[in-house]
Amino acid sequence: MSKYRLNLLPFMIVAMFAAAVTFSCADDNNPVAADMDDHDDDHDDDHDDDHDHGPGEVELITTVKITLTPQGGGSSLTVQFQDLDGEGGNAPVIDKIVVDKGTVYDGSIQELNELESPPEDITLEVREEAEAHQLFFETLGGFSPATVAYADKESDYVTNTGADHPVGLKFTLTVPANAQNGQFRVSQSHYDAGPKDGVTPSDETDIEVTFEVEVR
pLDDT in tens, the chain (216 residues): 444 333 333 333 333 333 444 444 443 433 333 333 443 444 344 434 444 444 445 467 889 999 999 998 999 999 999 988 866 788 889 999 999 999 999 999 999 989 888 999 999 999 999 999 999 999 999 999 999 999 999 999 999 878 999 999 999 999 999 999 999 999 999 998 778 999 999 998 888 899 999 999
Cβ distance 67 to 57 under 8 Å? Answer: no
* pLDDT of res. 87: 67
**φ and ψ at 78, to 5 degrees?**
-120, 125
- Rounded Cα gap, residues 91 and 74, in angstroms: 32
Q: Where are the domains of the chain?
A: 36-215
- Rounded Cα gap, residues 179 and 139, in angstroms: 10
H-type helices in 21-163, by residue range?
36-48, 123-128
* pLDDT of res. 29: 37
- Rounded Cα gap, residues 97 and 157, in angstroms: 28
Is the pTM above the cut of 0.85? no
**φ and ψ at 42, to 5 degrees?**
-60, -40
* pLDDT of res. 108: 98
* pLDDT of res. 60: 78
